[in-house]
Amino acid sequence: MNIAFIAHDRKKEEMVNFVIAYENVFEDHKLYSTGTTGTRIMEQTKLSIHRFASGPLGGDQQIGALVADNEMDLIIFLRDPLMAQPHEPDINALLRLCDVQGIPLATNVATAEILVKALDRGDFAWRELVHKYKPGVDS
């Protein structure tokens, strides 16, 4: 599965702690993140993460491009609802794209934990079918 991690500044420590708690689940998947979030996770874990630009510099849009192509399977985006973000239009576009493509998206740790436990149980097998039967892919 392709999994992305995004966290606003005041949520980065929470994201790192969450990923540490579920490192054994994430280690068998292809991981992506916005810049600083990915760096902080890699400093505290043994995970390898493809990092894009930071969110305000287009990282949200880079992940959004994968979502638009239905190449992302799960996004954990720990948002800070109490702080205005300068790139709010990019954030809203990413959330909308997840809804359009049916990509599971967690915006808080409680939802993230439910999704990661489902991932660990194998409940995301339906995403493999999405990839297998994509237009232009020989089945």
Domain total in the chain: 1
4-50, pLDDT tens digit by residue? 999 999 999 999 999 999 999 999 999 999 999 999 999 999 999 99
Q: Which two structure tokens, joined as six digits, stand for 124?
A: 């995301």
Do residues 64 and 93 touch, judged by C-beta distance below 8 A?
A: yes
123 in active site = no
Q: What range defines the domain where residue 9 resides?
A: 2-133
Q: Report the pLDDT value the prediction gives residue 124, as an integer from 0 to 100.
A: 82
Could you say which of 60, 80, 90, 99 is catalytic? 60
Read off the CATH number of the domain in which 74 is found.
3.40.50.1380
pLDDT at 139 over 70: no
- Extract the annotated binding site for substrate: 8, 12, 34-37, 54-55, 87
Residue 120, in any domain of the structure: yes
Contacts with 12 (C-beta within 8 Å, 6 or more apart), sequence order: 36, 37, 40, 78
Residue 25, in any domain of the structure: yes
Residue 76, in any domain of the structure: yes
State pTM to two decimals. Answer: 0.90
Residue 138, in any domain of the structure: no
- Extract the annotated binding site: 8, 12, 34-37, 54-55, 87
Q: Which of the two residues, 3 and 82, has the higher pLDDT score?
A: 3
Mean pLDDT of 66-89: 88
Residue 139, in any domain of the structure: no
